[in-house]
């Protein structure tokens, strides 16, 4: 997401949670008595939370070109990497490799979780730069999907700062052996958030430009079929829990059940909530990135990985 556009997109009031901003929870997905906890602030625009096997969350401070790590055991935030290619969305592969949507040069990176060393795995598409890879989801059986909207960045130079080289804003699939890269959608306005079901059979894509989220069936070869409207709301980032509830972001966190019915809303004291993921070893801590701060909320339901 463009951190400047995010401010304009939201009219949600800044301030502490109050009587008129209570958590709405129709299905009991939030732990009883749980309250939103600010873990750390002082960032510019937090994004891309991704959970590793131990339940630690890695997230980005996109304008400052840094990736941080929240350690679930200690509840501490430490710097993981500087010089991240202006990483935005993140997601872990099963082997522990961190995939990053790095839009400094509009690339997709693979980052070693232990050393921080990066490898460019997608430099372009058909000889042209991508618009700006934004969010990523790794399929359980291998391969990954990423969204490629256009959010003009102040650090881009020349014509690329004004015009995109691709013919639209699309979603792509990269095969597990990284030999195949192809588009899986070409009819969306501005795809942003993306997440799939733990069985790998369905994929949700938020078209933030059209204010809609779509659900697709995932084919064995990576292509998508059976596009159906999930809900009349777009999203920046998204996650899913064990019950199939889908968590969308923007003005706080809004939760829909597997049928697309809104079942919860979690207010967040920020102009914009960019992304969300389940962390901790039991996957019962909702980790929220929102502008200059990151938050946690204890949940009754469990996230999937």
Tell me if the pTM is above 0.85.
yes
pLDDT for res 4: 54
Residues sharing a CB contact under 8 Å with residue 48, sequence separation 6 or more, in sequence order: 58, 59, 60, 62, 87, 88, 89, 90, 100, 101, 135, 237, 275, 289
What does the pLDDT look like over 62-80, one tens digit per residue? 999 999 999 999 999 999 9
Query: Of all residues in the chain, what percent carry a pLDDT higher than 70?
Result: 91
What does the pLDDT look like over 173-231, one tens digit per residue? 999 999 999 999 999 999 999 999 999 999 999 999 999 999 999 999 999 999 999 99
Half-sphere CA count of 178, side-chain side, radius 13 A: 10
Query: What backbone phi and psi angles, to 5 degrees, belong to 160?
Result: -65, -20
3-298 topology per CATH: Neuraminidase (2.120.10)
Q: Tell whether the model's pLDDT for residue 8 goes beyond 60.
A: no
Question: DSSP secondary-structure letter at 299?
Answer: B
What does the pLDDT look like over 118-136, one tens digit per residue? 999 999 999 999 999 999 9
Q: Which pLDDT band, with edges at 50, 70 and 90, does 90 fall under? A: very high
Cα–Cα distance for residue pair 79/197, rounded to 1 Å: 30
Place of tokens 């997608």: 122
Average pLDDT, the chain: 92
Q: How many CB atoms lie within 10 A of CB 79?
A: 10
Q: Tell whether the model's pLDDT for residue 159 goes beyond 60.
A: no
- Classify 86 as helix, strand or coil: coil
Q: Which pLDDT band, with edges at 50, 70 and 90, does 152 fall under? A: confident
């Amino acid at each position: 997401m463009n951190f400047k556009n995010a401010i304009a997109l939201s009219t949600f009031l800044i301030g502490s949670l109050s009587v008129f901003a209570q958590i709405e929870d129709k299905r009991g997905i939030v732990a009883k008595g749980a309250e939103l906890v600010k873990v750390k602030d002082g960032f510019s625009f937090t994004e891309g939370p991704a959970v590793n096997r131990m339940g630690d969350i890695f997230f980005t401070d996109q304008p400052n070109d840094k990736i941080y790590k929240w350690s679930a055991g200690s509840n501490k935030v430490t710097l993981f990497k500087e010089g991240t290619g202006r990483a935005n969305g993140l997601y872990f592969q099963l082997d522990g490799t961190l995939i990053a949507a790095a839009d400094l040069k509009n690339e997709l990176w693979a980052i070693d979780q232990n050393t921080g060393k990066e490898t460019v795995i997608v430099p372009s598409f058909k000889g042209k730069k991508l618009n700006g890879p934004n969010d990523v989801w790794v399929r359980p059986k291998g391969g990954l999907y990423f969204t490629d909207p256009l959010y003009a960045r102040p650090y881009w130079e020349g014509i690329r700062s004004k015009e995109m080289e691709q013919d639209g804003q699309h979603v792509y699939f990269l095969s597990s052996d990284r030999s195949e890269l192809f588009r899986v959608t070409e009819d969306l306005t501005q795809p942003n958030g993306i997440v799939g079901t733990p069985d790998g059979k369905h994929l949700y894509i938020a078209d933030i430009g059209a204010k809609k989220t779509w659900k697709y069936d995932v084919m064995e070869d990576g292509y998508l079929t059976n596009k159906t409207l999930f809900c009349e709301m777009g999203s920046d980032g998204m996650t899913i829990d064990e019950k199939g509830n889908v968590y969308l972001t923007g003005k706080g966190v809004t939760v829909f059940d597997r049928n697309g019915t809104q079942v919860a809303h979690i207010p967040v004291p920020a102009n914009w909530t960019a992304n969300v993921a389940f962390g901790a070893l039991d996957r019962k801590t909702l980790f929220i990135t929102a502008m200059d701060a990151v938050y946690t909320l204890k949940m009754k339901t469990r996230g999937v990985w």
